[in-house]
Amino acid sequence: RGADIPCVSFDNVGGMYQIVEHLVTVHGRRRIVYLRGPVGNQDSEEREIAYRQALAQVGLPYDPALVARGDYSDEGGQAAIEQLMAAGVAFDAVFAGDDEAATGVLAALRHAGRRIPEDVSVVGFDDLTFAAHLNPPLTTARAPIERAGNLAGRMLLAILHGEEMPPSHPLPVELVIRRSCGCPEQ
């Protein structure tokens, strides 16, 4: 995403704040892991910055031990959480940078005998089709992917017709409450 190149993105800051604020105020979580994606991935970088800001806004200190590196895969999510547990890092919630990684988080926690959501709340990002069918159903931030595609197509047509476009179109994300955070499904 270049500074002057028109693009469609998601409001990672707003989405992260919704997640952290919900976990802290509704569920009393204090040790929230951010399972980020690959280094250099723009969304992952933005979400890590937003994670730090959201913690500050709810009065929690930033602890670098609670940032785990993943690769947006279920295997990567599982390995990252297994490493945190092996290192003795205490946590009571995990925000996985995408829903696929969250499936690996769920598997790792279950394998370790941790109950979801009683012991650890788990939240994903994207609201992929399978998220509602996991056990427990995954709380996630819904990125309006179809809307982003439509907007990108309209922007491309406008550019081809010589119209000026603003450089960025961040779309809001919506927190979709399901049971993996500890709420009854809405």
Q: What is the pLDDT of residues 63-120, one digit of tens each?
A: 999 999 999 999 999 999 999 999 999 999 999 999 999 999 999 999 999 999 999 9
CA 53/CA 176 separation, integer angstroms:
21
User: Within a 10 A sphere around the Cβ of 17, how many other Cβ atoms?
Assistant: 19
User: Within a 10 A sphere around the Cβ of 123, how many other Cβ atoms?
Assistant: 30
pTM tops 0.85, yes or no: yes
122 Cβ contact partners less than 8 Å away, ≥ 6 residues apart = 93, 94, 96, 102, 105, 106, 109, 116, 138, 139, 180, 181
DSSP 8-class letter at 162? T
- With a pLDDT cut of 70, the percent of the chain lying above it is 97
Q: What is the pLDDT of residues 154-175, one digit of tens each?
A: 888 988 998 887 777 788 999 9
Nearest residue to 139 (alpha-carbon basis) of 89, 175, 91: 175
Nearest residue to 131 (alpha-carbon basis) of 100, 88, 92: 100
CATH of domain 7-181: 3.40.50.2300
Which one has a higher pLDDT value, 40 or 112?
112
